[in-house]
Amino acid sequence: MDFINANKRAFIISLTYVGFGTLSVCSISGSDFFYGDWAIFGLLITFPVTIISFGYRFAEANSFIPVLIIQFIMFVLTFILLSLIIKKDKSIK
């Protein structure tokens, strides 16, 4: 919990970015609740964190739980990476 409090900016950016990607992946099929043309643009913007989930969702269109697990792992990786980048940026100044 201290790690999250020390890196709030990285946490918020990661949560927003990966959350938008997750919503986009879960909205690409025609039967999805939030389906729309915006989902393609959302996938393009969040490509690095949604490519694996998109591939899984393309193969198994009705499976959401594995997509959420994959996206959670991507969130953790993104958060750690951003925390290191922001920490390095603070030490340079």
How many other CB atoms are found less than 10 A from the CB of residue 4? Answer: 11
- SS3 call for 65: helix
The range of the structural domain enclosing residue 73 comes to 2-87
| Tally of domains in the chain | 1
CA distance 67 to 50: 9
Q: Determine the Cα–Cα distance for residues 92 and 65; give it in Å rounded to an integer.
A: 41
Tens-place pLDDT, residues 13-70: 999 999 999 999 988 887 778 888 888 899 999 999 999 999 998 888 788 899 999 9
* pLDDT band, residue 87 (cuts 50/70/90): confident
Q: Are 42 and 49 in contact (CB under 8 A)?
A: no
* pLDDT value of position 21: 95
d(CA 14, CA 82): 8
Residue 51 within a domain: yes
10 falls within a domain:
yes
